[in-house]
Each structure stands twice: as structure tokens, then as C-alpha cells.
Amino acid sequence: MNEAAVFDRVVDELHDRNFSPLVHVPDAHRDTYSAVLDRCQRHEITIRGRYPDVIGFTDANRVFAIEVKGEQGLLRGIGQALTYQQGAHVSYLAADAAAVASHVTLLQSKGVGVIGVDGAGVTSWNAPPHTESAEAVADIEGQLSIRLRGSEFGGDVTTLSLAQPLNYLAPVIALDRYGPLARDELVDWLADEYSFGAGASALAGARTLGLVDSGHPHELTDQGELAATVLRGYGIEELDDLRLAKEDTRGSTVSDVHPPLGVLLYNSFSRHPEFGLLLDALRKEGPRVRFPGLVKRLVHEYPNVFLSAFCTNRGSDRVRELIERGEGPQIYRQTAVWKDVVRSNVLFNFVQQLKHIGVLSPDTRSHSGPIDEYDPDEKPWYVR
């Protein structure tokens, strides 16, 4: 059987087993795999720089990854299935049943499952007897959660572009006070009553944190309703109240000046899967964090988060190429590389946000100048 036929029958089996699959099919092969694409979402999730043919959650909410082959390329498929163990709870090689039969014992000894397929469908399903190292599985789980579990988050963590996170609560107050509002109306309210000219960014951040939905007009989510209740209980019922609270934090942080609001923001941020993984990486790297060390940890343990949260669009392409060529260490070992691929506002806005919500110590110095002038030894991050 050829690879496309195997792929088609594997997808049938996954649906019968109540797995939640995403597939990776390059644009050049869309026609060949049209039957698969008609039934499954596509993904761009990588494990150690490689795209699993199929990835998703099992019926027991474990991350699975499958490399699909036909009668040819089985040795390459074995290598890829072994790689996927680094980012999945269970990894499989699916192939023509007769061709893969002689490899079952080896694959099982390495902890890889084997799926045999013939013209009638899946004829054998050998689950992995054990799981090898899965150090990057948290990263993959976060990526899949956003794609498959109906998360209400309206964007990725890179939309959190404002240094003062209290601004993300402004849309919550406006919607709580005035009810559902169209985007332009909401932005106008923030300009008029909050004296804030970046209302679109505040709204994007509120959506990313799951406080505001993406409907037309916008409404509060359940989490947004909870945030509104906390704000009212703290005496912040109007946008002017929030403006005054923000002025109180000048020269300090939200967590130090308004602890309940710091907790509210921390909880909102940490609910986002991608941000939660960043916080996990920071805690592992701390208490004193040199930025290149954080980059190293992200590249090895949370590569997808590094690509989407820290890199420019052009930088993401370069990082992906380096990882795929097995040259990932260049990213953090060569100063010129990480300074070329990382967004400069990570060193200012991101640091300020983390200070305000109590993740980083107020002693941490952000960097507002060009990234070429940034010295990580002079401005380390201190995990609080």
C-alpha cells in the first residue's frame, strides 16, 4: 500500500477510537491527501523540528504522535517515530502491515507503537509498552489545547503588547458597565473615558487572556465576568477608577500596590497555555535568569513557544531551519543569532508585564533600547 492509502485508513481508525487528530500535509501534496484533509484539521506543530504526520489527544487525553509510511521509507519512519517520543506521551509508526511486520519487535523494544494497515483497514494496533523521555510534552499539550479543546483564548501570547497589564482590564470594565459593544464603540469608550489611545491593543490583550470573546458585538466571557466581579469588589467600577489605580503603580508594580489586582492578572495570564509554559520555563531557569539561558531552555523544551512568543516572523523561519538541521544550539550560543531572531519588545514589554503580575522581582531591569545594545549580564531577570 502507498502512504496516502495508509494515512486514510489510519484516520478512520483514530476517529473510531475517539482520538482527536490533527494532520500535517504540505501544500504540494494537498490533492494526494484530500480525503484526509476533508476530515481533519491541519497543524504546524513540531517536535524537535519535525512535523508529525498525525498528532493529537487520545481518548484518555494523552498526547499521541504518528509517523505514517507505506511500503517504503520504514527506516526513516522509525527514526521519526523515535524523535516524536520527546514531545508525546505515546508515539507510533503506521505502515503497510506486511512491510512493517519485521520491525515490530525492534519498535516495541524502543517504546514505539506499531499500526499495521492493509486494504481493509487497520489490521494490528500494538500500543507502546512504555514511554521514553517526553521532556517537551508540556509544550505540545499547550499547542494542542489551543487547537482542539475549544479554548476561548482569542490569540496567542504575542498579542500581549502593552507594558502595563492593567490596560487589559479596561475592556472588561467597559463591557461590564455598558453591555455588549462593537469593536469601534469599545475602542472609542477607552479613548474617551480611560484616556487611552491604544484601545485596540487593550482589546486584543483582553481577548488573548480569555476575558472578552471574539463575537460581534464583544461580550465578557465567564472568566471576564469573574474579573469584573473582582474589580467591583475592589472598588473599581468605572474606567476612571482603573486609570487612577494605574497611576498609583508608577515607579512600582501592580502586585505591590494593588495585590488583589496582581492576583487577578496573574491568574488571567497563567490560564493561557502558552504563557503558562513560559512561566514554567522561567521557574526552572531561575531565580537569576540570563536571557540566553532562557532561550536555551525554550529551544530544547518548549520550541513551539519560543517560535511563536519570542521570535519575529522572519526569525521564526530562521530558527525552524536551524532546529531542523540539528543546529539549534547556534540560537543561544551565538549572540548575533538570538539578537537577530528575538523580538525587541520581549526585553521591555514582556519584562514589565512579568514584574507587574509578580513573576519577576521589581529589581529586574527591562531593556528599552535596540536589541543590539542589550547585555544580559547587566540586566538579568530575577524570578520572584
Task: Quickly list DSSP for 111-157.
Answer: T-EEEEEETTEEEEEE--SS----TTHHHHHHHHHHHHS-----S-G
In this predicted structure, what is the pLDDT of residue 172?
97
- Interval 171-195 mean pLDDT: 95
Can you name the residues that pair with 64 across neighbouring β-strands? 56, 90
What gap in Å lies between CA 272 and CA 309, rounded to an integer?
12
Residues 87, 174 within the same domain: no
In a domain, 9, yes or no: yes
| Residue at 321: amino acid letter | E
In a domain, 61, yes or no: yes
Residues 282, 251 within the same domain: no
Residues 291, 376 within the same domain: yes
- Interval 235-262 mean pLDDT: 96
In this predicted structure, what is the pLDDT of residue 279?
86
Q: End of a domain among 270, 294, 328?
A: 270
In this predicted structure, what is the pLDDT of residue 131?
54
In this predicted structure, what is the pLDDT of residue 164?
96
In this predicted structure, what is the pLDDT of residue 134?
57
Indicate whether 325 pLDDT > 50: yes
In this predicted structure, what is the pLDDT of residue 154?
46
Residues 22, 127 within the same domain: yes
Q: End of a domain among 135, 164, 198?
A: 135
In a domain, 68, yes or no: yes
Residues 258, 277 within the same domain: no
Q: Residue 186: CA atoms inside 13 Å, Cβ hemisphere, count?
A: 32
What gap in Å lies between CA 384 and CA 381, rounded to an integer?
9
Residues 102, 192 within the same domain: no
| Residue at 237: amino acid letter | E
pLDDT in tens, 285-321: 989 999 999 999 988 888 878 887 888 888 988 998 8
Residues 313, 242 within the same domain: no
pLDDT in tens, 65-103: 999 999 999 999 999 999 999 889 999 999 999 999 999
In this predicted structure, what is the pLDDT of residue 360?
96
Q: What share of the chain is helix, strand, coil (3-state, %, to 5)?
A: 55, 15, 35
- Interval 121-144 mean pLDDT: 76
- Interval 268-286 mean pLDDT: 86
Exposed, middle or buried, 94 (CB in 10 Å: 0-12/13-18/19+)?
buried
In a domain, 143, yes or no: no
Residue 323 pLDDT grade (very low, low, confident, very high; cuts 50, 70, 90): confident
In this predicted structure, what is the pLDDT of residue 133?
53
Residue 135 pLDDT grade (very low, low, confident, very high; cuts 50, 70, 90): low
What gap in Å lies between CA 192 and CA 304, rounded to an integer?
39
In this predicted structure, what is the pLDDT of residue 151?
46
280, 138 Cβ separation under 8 angstroms:
yes
Number of structural domains (the chain) is 3
In a domain, 35, yes or no: yes
Of 68, 90, 94, 93, residue with least CA distance to 134: 90
Residue 161 pLDDT grade (very low, low, confident, very high; cuts 50, 70, 90): confident
Residues 61, 110 within the same domain: yes
In this predicted structure, what is the pLDDT of residue 130?
62
Exposure class string for 349-362: b at 16+ Cβ within 10 A, else e: bbbbbbbbbbbbbe
Question: Does residue 171 have a cis peptide bond before it, meaning omega lies within 30 degrees of 0?
Answer: no
Residue 347 pLDDT grade (very low, low, confident, very high; cuts 50, 70, 90): very high
In this predicted structure, what is the pLDDT of residue 217?
95
Which three cell numbers, joined as nine digits, stand for 299?
529551544
Chain-centroid distance of CA 11 in Å reads: 25
Domain that holds residue 319: 273-382
- Interval 25-35 mean pLDDT: 92
Indicate whether 235 pLDDT > 50: yes
Which three cell numbers, joined as nine digits, stand for 210?
480569555
Indicate whether 357 pLDDT > 90: yes
In a domain, 245, yes or no: yes
In this predicted structure, what is the pLDDT of residue 324?
72
pTM for this prediction: 0.70
Residues 231, 314 within the same domain: no
Chain-centroid distance of CA 197 in Å reads: 29
In a domain, 142, yes or no: no
DSSP characters over 7-74: HHHHHHHHHHTT-EEEE---GGGTTTTHHHHTTSEE----BTTB--SEEEE-TTS-EEEEEE--SS-H
Average pLDDT taken over every residue of the chain: 90
Q: What percent of the chain has pLDDT over 70?
A: 93
| Residue at 87: amino acid letter | G
In a domain, 281, yes or no: yes
Residues 54, 105 within the same domain: yes
